[in-house]
Amino acid sequence: MQKPVLYCCAALALAFGFSASTLAADATHGDAKVGKALVYTCGGCHGVTGYKNAYPNYHVPRIAGQNYDYIVSALTEYKKGERSHPTMRAQGQSLSDEDIRNVAAYLSSLNAGK
């Protein structure tokens, strides 16, 4: 059964011309191929250029190409309730630790077009 979280980033990555540099599995860093299947909802916020969150009001960051360790840390902190954004907290709480590593492996493998 697939979890209903974080899957739109794959479409986002393609829509914005990001390319996956590698999707190889790494036991310590997760499996990017599995992570690609988990990132289906994140593009709704993280994939819109110039998108601002309504409450609290701030610019939503782009996450494609973000540092692996940062993604793991951020999602883990949301999961534990150490970060306060309610939508991201719900997303983080729906992920296992392995899911988080897999999502981070995929997102960090993308070229953010810098």
pLDDT digits (tens, 9 = 90+) for 22-32: 444 445 789 99
Distance CA(80)–CA(43), nearest Å, equals 23
| Domain regions of the chain by residue span | 8-45+59-109
We find that the CATH architecture of domain 8-45+59-109 is Orthogonal Bundle (1.10)
The pLDDT, as a whole number, for residue 51 is 79
pLDDT digits (tens, 9 = 90+) for 47-81: 777 777 776 677 888 899 999 999 999 999 999 99
Question: Considering the chain, what is the average pLDDT of its residues?
Answer: 78
Which of the two residues, 99 and 21, has the higher pLDDT score?
99
